Amino acid sequence: MITYREATNVDLPAIRVLGREINALHHAAWPDVFSPSGDPQPDEDFWRETIGVPDATTLVAETAEGVIGFVNIAFVAKDRSPLLQPVSYARVGSVGVAEGHRGRGIGTELMRRAEAWAAAKGATRVNLIVWAFNERAVRLYEELGYEIRSHSMGKRLVAAEPDSS
């Protein structure tokens, strides 16, 4: 049986391990962008930012064996750009489900609960970033009604030889 709830600091060890699983997947696809996975202990401050704070939360999925998935989300009051509609939104940071539990609807349920949390905070939309290589995640978000709104592009630069003149 899977239960869902808001995370507490007690969940940090499991979240850090799942975060390293996410990182390993990303590092394998883009090693020049994502650092290699290592000891999850140094990541604690990063994952703690959305636990027990007023305008953010981390939700976890757990079984008798422990935490098997999580999503973190933060409420953003409004964009400040005069080019954008002034709407309140929430931003999903990371979604992770333990490898042995993927494909069972856990990510979908975590996202639905994150969306409900955001709506209760007054958000009228949820934004997230997903890397193009992560086709499984792209499919999940599309099934949940998310659509591409922009493309983030990058280019690796090669250091130029110093001008000797």
Q: Which one has a higher pLDDT value, 144 or 41? A: 144
Residue 40 has pLDDT above 60, yes or no: no
* Res. 42: pLDDT tops 70: no
Q: What is the pLDDT of residue 36?
A: 84
- On whether residue 66 sits in a domain, the answer given is yes
Q: Which domain holds residue 46?
A: 3-128
Total domains present in the chain: 1
pLDDT at 49: 92
Asked if the structure places residue 140 within a domain, the reply is no
- Report if residue 116 sits inside a domain: yes
* Cα separation, 118 vs 28, whole angstroms: 32
User: What percentage of the chain has pLDDT greater than the value 90?
Assistant: 73
Confidence class for position 53, pLDDT limits 50, 70, 90: very high
Q: Is the pLDDT of residue 41 over 70?
A: no
Answer whether residue 86 is part of any domain.
yes
Any alpha helices (H) in the chain, and if so which ranges? 12-29, 44-48, 106-121, 135-143
User: Does residue 139 lie within any of the structural domains?
Assistant: no
Tell me, what CATH number does 11's domain have? 3.40.630.30
Q: Which residue has the tokens 């609807």?
A: 105
Residue 146 in domain: no
Residue predicted with more confidence, 41 or 106 = 106
- Average pLDDT over the chain reads 91
Q: What is the pTM of this model?
A: 0.88
Mention every residue, 6+ apart, whose C-beta is less than 8 A from residue 106.
Answer: 2, 61, 68, 69, 97
Within-domain flag for 138:
no
pLDDT score for 39: 61
73-90 pLDDT tens trace: 999 877 677 887 778 899
- Summarize pLDDT for 98-152 with one digit per residue, the tens: 999 999 999 999 999 999 999 999 999 999 999 999 999 999 999 999 999 888 8
Report d(CA 137, CA 141) in Å as an integer. Answer: 6
Q: Which of 4-8, 17-21, 84-88 has the highest mean pLDDT?
A: 4-8
Q: Is residue 119 part of a domain?
A: yes
Q: Is 91 exposed, middle or buried (0-12, 13-18, 19+ CB in 10 A)?
A: middle
Q: Which helix (H) or strand (E) holds 106?
A: helix 106-121
